[in-house]
Amino acid sequence: GQSLEQPSEVTAVEGAIVQINCTYQTSGFYGLSWYQQHDGGAPTFLSYNALDGLEETGRFSSFLSRSDSYGYLLLQELQMKDSASYFCAVREVGGQGFSFIFGKGTRLLVKP
């Protein structure tokens, strides 16, 4: 069956770099997305990788290796406001058409 694995929790200090990994097992892979969600808030889109390689958007970068079924989100120059949950997600093709599968999320705690 389909699954996404990501660490449940990561802690880092302000100004540091942190990498959140995501491994997936799905059928009909259509790309890996990352979302950020602050406590009590809605998920917000961060990045999307359809092809292998690194995508950079400001302090955030996302990487995909389709051959390894693996991706990561890299957050640089961490700020306190980056404390949030981060979800990786894939679109998968199944018996009832396609579906969206989200990982259980990684809670990032940024300390001063």
Partner 1 sequence: DSGVTQTPKHLITATGQRVTLRCSPRSGDLSVYWYQQSLDQGLQFLIQYYNGEERAKGNILERFSAQQFPDLHSELNLSSLELGDSALYFCASSVVQGSHNEQFFGPGTRLTVL
We find the least distance from the C-beta atom of residue 100 to partner 1, in angstroms, to be 4
We find the least distance from the C-beta atom of residue 98 to partner 1, in angstroms, to be 5
Residue ranges of the alpha helices (H) in the chain? none
96 belongs to the binding site for partner 1 (CB under 8 A): yes
Give the residue, chosen from 52, 79, 100, 111, that forms a contact with partner 1 under the rule CB under 8 A.
100
Binding segment toward partner 1, per CB under 8 A, in 13-21, 27-35, 58-66, 69-77: 27-35
Place of tokens 């199944």: 94
Q: Which residues of 28-66 are buried (b: 16+ CB within 10 A; e: fewer)?
A: ebeebbbbbeeeeeebeebbebeeeeebeeeebbbbbee
Taking the least distance from each CB to partner 1, the nearer of 72 and 78 is: 72
Q: Are strands 18-25 and 44-49 parallel, antiparallel or unpaired?
A: unpaired
Give the residue, chosen from 22, 26, 33, 71, that forms a contact with partner 1 under the rule CB under 8 A.
33
